[in-house]
Structure 1
């Protein structure tokens, strides 16, 4: 009986964590970023219009273009594409995850050095996790 009583707080904590953290695929657990300029084919005509993700907080993001699900590129886009000077792409060692699964990769920012016109596909790196939520990725 004492063992059960001692385990009760841990069971309550575990339940609370599941409820508090929730499923990352639940709409309350991720942020939707819907912007046509983020498409890999989009090139901005003005540097004033460039997007900057510097202040994005760590978390789950669902990308869309005009309300349709989008996928962060898994290839190095040309610099100044995706509406930014330093487009971000995902480098994966594994294929995209199956529904309900995660895969860990690396978010890379592409950059070009103006003085030499030398392009670098992954000048800035950060760990990234992708989850397949069935009909979309976060």
Structure 2
């Protein structure tokens, strides 16, 4: 009987830990969404109005936006053309398709495309940055 009580206590503890982990995952997803939203708003402001000085721990930083290009893979089209599900198009799935002769490196490159993106960049502000942004000497 003592064995069952210990098992139930351990089961309850594990259930509590699992619930905590799931809650943290939800919190992390919500934080990621807020970070992305705030970053997009900062980028929009900088593109419209120019570089900004922001402070972190009383240290000034210059916030700028850099235009970049990301390479993407059109997984939807590739999956449709090969007759497999989109979830199958991952590293192992692509490797298996290559082994089966259904996909080659050249054919895979035809599904790549470039997507322009804007990234927020930060660097410590120099005295000249402060003068340029705030005008005059400080």
TM-score exceeds 0.5: no
Q: Which has the higher contact order (CA 8 A, sep 6+)?
A: 2
User: Which structure has the highest helix share of the two?
Assistant: 2
TM-score for both structures, normalised by structure 1: 0.30
Structure ID, larger Rg: 2
User: Which structure has the highest strand share of the two?
Assistant: 1
